Chain A
Amino acid sequence: DAKTTQPTSMDCAEGRAANLPCNHSTISGNEYVYWYRQIHSQGPQYIIHGLKNNETNEMASLIITEDRKSSTLILPHATLRDTAVYYCIVREASWGKFQFGAGTQVVVTP
């Protein structure tokens, strides 16, 4: 079973920031938080991951709460091409399987 809970869907206006929440209340100290997205039926695309600290790269920012029980993926300036299913995944440091849940369907509108 997936270890994360995400909203089923959300809309975002083009050019605005998209904030995608994820709950992972049972996360343990050696588990990472990963975000992937899947555009239509293409292969999942890596976005970002983190362990404890907030992370930022050219695609997005990841904000992890201090207790690590939840996180938020921030797409700073959403474009129409960001329309996709976004997956929040908790992955053990010692093991490789990515457990994909249902994800959040994000629709960016003009």
Chain B
Amino acid sequence: EAQVTQNPRYLITVTGKKLTVTCSQNMNHEYMSWYRQDPGLGLRQIYYSMNVEVTDKGDVPEGYKVSRKEKRNFPLILESPSPNQTSLYFCASSFTPYGGSEAFFGQGTRLTVV
């Protein structure tokens, strides 16, 4: 089954403790991205990757890092999480970054930083 898999689904952590949210897709997609969703602000793009070893900032990259060492994986790294990073996170992938190609989203990771 074609899918984007995120782990963990739920995470509660403390301020400053480094964490990684994993994202994996099995569709051989080139383009992957991370979004966060907050009440009243909708979904906002954090980082994206056009292909292996090619990543760039989205609209709200502060406090986050990403890497793309393999085509299928695109982990989101929070080096020193803070309470304002409490949010619902989604990973997405598409065959290409261009219009006409639909994006598939993971089921989300609900992160709470206390």
Q: Do A30 and B99 touch (CB < 8 A)?
A: yes
Interface locus among B11-19, B64-72, B102-110: B102-110
Nearest residue (CB) in B for A48 is B102
Q: Which of A49, A51, A97 contacts B58 (CB 8 A)?
A: A97
Q: Which of B4, B35, B48, B105 contacts A96 (CB 8 A)?
A: B48
Q: Do A97 and B45 touch (CB < 8 A)?
A: yes
Interface size (A, Cβ < 8 Å)? 25
Say if the beta carbon of A102 comes within 8 Å of chain B: yes
Q: Among residues 31 to 88 in chain A, which have CB atoms less than 8 Å away from a CB atom of chain B?
A: 31-32, 34, 41-46, 49, 51
* A interface majority secondary structure: loop
Q: Do B100 and A96 touch (CB < 8 A)?
A: no
Contacts of A93 in B (CB 8 A): 98-100
Q: Do B110 and A41 touch (CB < 8 A)?
A: yes
Q: Which of B42, B99, B107 contacts A102 (CB 8 A)?
A: B42
Q: Which residues of A contact B (CB under 8 A)?
A: 2, 30-32, 34, 41-46, 49, 51, 91-98, 100-103
Closest 9 CB pairs of A and B: A96-B97, A43-B105, A93-B99, A100-B43, A32-B99, A46-B102, A44-B105, A100-B42, A43-B107
Q: Which residues of B contact A (CB under 8 A)?
A: 4, 31, 33, 35, 37, 42-43, 45, 48, 58, 88, 90, 92, 94, 96-108, 110
A-B contact pairs, 10 of them (CB 8 A): A41-B108, A42-B107, A43-B92, A43-B106, A92-B99, A93-B98, A95-B98, A96-B31, A97-B45, A98-B92
